[in-house]
Amino acid sequence: MEEYELPVLLVNEVGGICGVLEAHVDFLKTHFNLITMKEFLENKNILSKKVQAIYVWWHKPVIDHELLQSLPNLKVIANSGVGMDHLDLKLISGCGIKMANCPHAVSSSTADTGMALLLASARRLVEGCQIAVSLDTECFAPDWLGEEVTGATLGIIGMGNVGYKIALRAKAFEMKILYHNRKQRKEEEEQAIGAIYCKKIEDLLQQSDFVMLAVTLTPQTHKLIGKRELELMKPTAILINISRGLVVDQEALLEALRTGIIKAAALDVTYPEPLPRDHPLLKLKNIIITPHLGIKTHKTTRMITEEAVANLLAALNGLPMPSEVLPD
């Protein structure tokens, strides 16, 4: 085997469904010797001591005890998004390995996706497109109406980087903005976006025309929105989820959409992803489901890789990582 002058970075694969994007490979190779899981497994005896870093793209490779034990010189793992719920942080930290995510790169793109889903669901754009292109359409019904966005009340659950950028966008639509968060934002930050803090999630749910979920998945947010929460919402309200599928009880949501407890939903995330093709949510007309598009732009995916590389190199050089994640 050749000598490795650059640090060795392990990735799942290049291209494919769960591989790093081919467009990013040249950039990665300027800083690392890149090896895939296939190459690693085929040359495990030689490569196991050389791998110093792992780049997790779209939850792959799977970081388990067996892999960690086989990499004695692994120093750092960088994740290609914000959510770390697919990683056992205590296991990784217990092995003396640093971890990082990419919160800065993803926030604008994810906020854009949230607003796109809000607008699409309010104005029934997907249904409208289907009507406009249908061969059976002879005229457009004058009473086929959507909901007004300008001046409506938006409740944001989770006011981190993404939630705050959603509020900035909503302000441009002259929306009244409520938010619920573990911690209240500083007064000057609230004033900048015109947001009102709701200490109780119930108050937000009862008042909002649109409810946007922008939280990380934790034991506390697992099925945060269930039957009780949906019943607190207005029957004209629309739920938008851009966080993680498991933040919403999908069975309760299905029933709420079927029975008119809420008007509609727009989901960029589900569990599992994708849903089984016979899943009843896919048969409803008052729902939009997109394939986890939050970060999927050319610019954002490149920024994610750049942020990940900055974290990896910092850790390997003994410097503070810009986006280090510590176990709770």
**Would you please indicate which residues are annotated as catalytic (active-site) residues?**
244, 273, 292
Nearby residues of 79 by Cβ (< 8 Å), 6 or more positions away: 56, 87, 99, 100, 101, 102, 308, 325
170: buried, middle or exposed (CB in 10 Å: 19+, 13-18, 0-12)? buried
Give the angle subtended at the CA of 289 by the CAs of 287 and 292, to the nearest 5°: 155
Report DSSP letters for 230-272, one per residue. HHHS-TT-EEEE-S-GGGB-HHHHHHHHHHTSSSEEEES--SS
Give the three-state DSSP class for 35: strand
Tokens matching residue 286:
């008052």
234: buried, middle or exposed (CB in 10 Å: 19+, 13-18, 0-12)? middle
